[in-house]
Amino acid sequence: MKLYRFLTGPDDATFCHKVTAAVNKGWHLFGSPTYSFDAETRTMRCGQAVVKDVEGAEYTPDIKLGDY
C-alpha cells in the first residue's frame, strides 16, 4: 500500500525535526514544501507532503499513519 501524510507546523526547528523523523522512518518527500502566514496567530506555518510504500499491508481508513 502507499501511504500519504501532510506534515504541518510552525516555522521553527520543531517542524524540521518532524520532517526529519518521518524521512528517517522511511517516508519520502512528495512535492515542494509550503509556507504560509497564519493571520490568526500571526506566525508563519510550514507544510510538507510525504509518502511511503508499505509491503504486505492493506490500507484501511483506521490506520494510524504516524505508526509507520
- Give the pLDDT confidence of 44-67 residue by residue, as tens digits: 999 999 999 999 989 999 999 988
- What pairs with residue 36 in β-bridges? 45
Return the bridge partners of 4, or none: 51
Q: In angstroms, rounded to a whole number, what is the distance separating the alpha carbons of residues 37 and 65?
A: 26
Beta carbons of 50 and 22 less than 8 angstroms apart = yes
Cell numbers 504560509: residue? 36
Question: What's the pTM value of the predicted model, to 2 decimals?
Answer: 0.87
pLDDT tens-digit readout, 3-58: 999 999 999 999 999 999 999 999 999 999 999 999 999 999 999 999 999 999 89
Per-residue pLDDT, 67 = 86
Burial class (CB in 10 A: 0-12, 13-18, 19+), 27: buried
